[in-house]
Amino acid sequence: MPQIIITTDAPDGRATEVHRERISPVDVETEAASFLLVERIGWALSDADDLEHPAATGSATTPARGGRSGRPRAGRR
């Protein structure tokens, strides 16, 4: 099954997997499903950016499970 994987290069030089999600055509069949997928990707990109640039966010720690604000990953498989 296809997957979306978002990784980042942390300041210590190690690659960190921020998000991994299996996807299928149903994830883009409706506007609502597409929106949720893009929203989850956006959270992961934001988390990856925070890890790559900790000085910009004031935090050098790994984001909490579920995202920076603890928001749930709706529809995650």
Give the list of residues 6+ apart from residue 32 with CB closer than 8 angstroms, or none: none
* Band (12; pLDDT cuts 50, 70, 90): confident
Determine, yes or no, domain membership for 71.
no
Residue 32 belongs to a domain: yes
The pLDDT score that the predictor gives to residue 2 is 95
Range(s) of the domain holding residue 26: 3-57
- Averaged over 43-58, what is the pLDDT? 83
Q: pTM for the complete prediction?
A: 0.66
In a domain, 37, yes or no: yes
In the predicted model, what is the mean pLDDT of residues 37-44? 97
Q: Is residue 27 part of a domain?
A: yes
> Given CA atoms 28, 47, 71, 6 in this order, what sign does their dihedral have?
positive
Q: For residues 70 and 4, which has the higher predicted lDDT (pLDDT)?
A: 4
Asked if residue 62 is part of any domain, the answer here is no
CA distance 17 to 65: 12
Q: Are 9 and 17 in contact (CB under 8 A)?
A: no
Domain count across the chain: 1
Q: What is the mean pLDDT of residues 40-48?
A: 95
